[in-house]
Structure 1
């Protein structure tokens, strides 16, 4: 090979390597930008029903992103999950009792009629459901989850059952909080524990939000049925929904975060909300230290070296 040819080859290799590095950098920046869009600095015009939609497939996790005629993302559906994130009016969540934590997000989390699959955009239910979801301003998963935070106002239904309001911490399921007897499909009828009235433990809080309020199927405490289990450990091993990489860039509002004390066995679960006003990821769970559901006071979620704090074990999207 001549010296001149060798120089040309070297230059070409450098250009190719630089281009590849640039593409990788842009892809990484794109992921960071997408994650930051759940943060407080973002103000996004709410999406509206479009005359046509464009569907794009993405990976890690496998999902479908929906864009309108302007190219704006209006919804995200994840394979195996019923949880869909809709681009709606920006809202700010915080503990009514006066915490400094604030999470501002344009994400509205709703359940689809059935789990998403590749090519589900051709399903008969999708277009009517999506058009309605883009204009639906009723309580979604995040709004419901915030209704049990410290200081949240109480409300009762037509049967005088208190179905929302500040929940204290206790070993209690959703039916204990409500103070009602509950019959599970295909399973036993369970009576509430008197000591659990108005209380929720970590799994009970998730079952209240996703099950009783949002309509996701529930299993009984004994394990009867095919719905969401009673304990954090069983939820983490649930055979429905979609496992999500335990990577902050893969998270989206509504995801279930599972924690293990000492990094071993799962013993707690929380609902991811997004980024706070300082750009830190935040979740809500019912903990003894906060006496019920509250925003995490510190997001050392990904500090695997801190043995004194629960370690993020896994993530699941229902």
Structure 2
């Protein structure tokens, strides 16, 4: 959480490794190579052993970003926003903006001019991030169309009614109503009945994949792309596991940050396998860890409390008790 991250700066120095951008002769040479055009001049990258991340501070010592080795997610601290939905009185107010790097982060990138330019752009960006994009599919969200008239956002259903129940299987391309060709030339044709619908993993693939650019796959299991199902995302999606699956509810949620993928074993009728996925938003106005996911009972993406509270730390709540793991893309 952002408030916890900000306290890192007062942790005893033995717990932190500070990478002051150009503090050695070798770094000075890098500075000379970068020249005065360095967009991150004066910024410091501080490694925290506590959470395994690099925390970025600008020249005025403001905490501006967090980077996780092995993940493409860049958490940027910017203007505070409030997320709300009609189905709950709770709101989430956060300064976290979830952005995507071109490649998984490594410490070696810190002194590279291309990376510094990219990160500076993400810190300055005002374009919709993962959280804002996710909210474009909740109940009442207005339709958005591209120049060709394709509706790419707007209030989404979970799936069509079949036999009195919401049908699973609505992927991002079903919502769009288009066929999708994958990297191996396999093709998934859109199901007409599922137009405008997103199941839980289809919602994540729409937000992180189609909209934000994480590459997608369909049962190829390359470990470099977002697969189709929740259980496959937990096992094969790229990134870094921040809470491993030990077959029970995690003892702590402290490792979570906005944008992390969350996984549940919510259906006791299908064994012990993961069967649901969502996106962590942050701590809400009532002190609960809140997420957004697409659910049958809510008929689509929601951060609200229809069909179970969208929180992780309320004992007795379905999605609190059945939460299992988290991954940072």
Normalised by the length of structure 1, the TM-score is: 0.80
Gaps of 5+ in 1: 1-30, 38-48
- Distance of 2:291 and 2:5 partners within structure 1: 15
Q: 1:198 aligns with which of 196, 199, 212?
A: 196
CA RMSD across the alignment: 2.4
Match of 2:262 in 1: 257
How far the C-alpha of 1:306 sits from its partner, in A, is 6.4
- Distance of 2:42 and 2:213 partners within structure 1: 29
How far the C-alpha of 1:173 sits from its partner, in A, is 0.3
Instruction: Map 1:92-131; keep pairs closer than 5 Å.
Output: 92-95=82-85, 97=86, 99-131=88-120
Query: Aligned to 1:87, what secondary structure does the other structure show?
Result: strand
Instruction: Map 1:167-182; keep pairs closer than 5 Å.
Output: 167-170=156-159, 171=168, 172-182=170-180
Task: Please identify, of 84-93 and 112-121, the stretch whose mean Cα deviation from structure 2 is larger.
Answer: 112-121
- On the 8 A contact 1:186/1:224 being kept in 2, the answer is no
- On the 8 A contact 1:35/1:249 being kept in 2, the answer is no
Match of 1:209 in 2: 207
- On the 8 A contact 1:101/1:295 being kept in 2, the answer is no
Query: Aligned to 1:144, what secondary structure does the other structure show?
Result: helix
Gaps of 5+ in 2: 8-38, 160-167, 244-249
Match of 2:69 in 1: 79
Normalised by the length of structure 2, the TM-score is: 0.77
Task: Please identify, of 82-91 and 299-308, the stretch whose mean Cα deviation from structure 2 is larger.
Answer: 299-308
How far the C-alpha of 1:100 sits from its partner, in A, is 1.8
Alignment of 1:132 onto 2:130: no
- Distance of 2:298 and 2:291 partners within structure 1: 13
Alignment of 1:88 onto 2:88: no
- On the 8 A contact 1:260/1:310 being kept in 2, the answer is no
How far the C-alpha of 1:223 sits from its partner, in A, is 2.8
Q: 1:189 aligns with which of 178, 187, 190?
A: 187
Total equivalences in the alignment: 275
- On the 8 A contact 2:311/2:319 being kept in 1, the answer is no
Which structure is larger by alpha-carbon Rg, 1 or 2? 1
Match of 2:274 in 1: 266
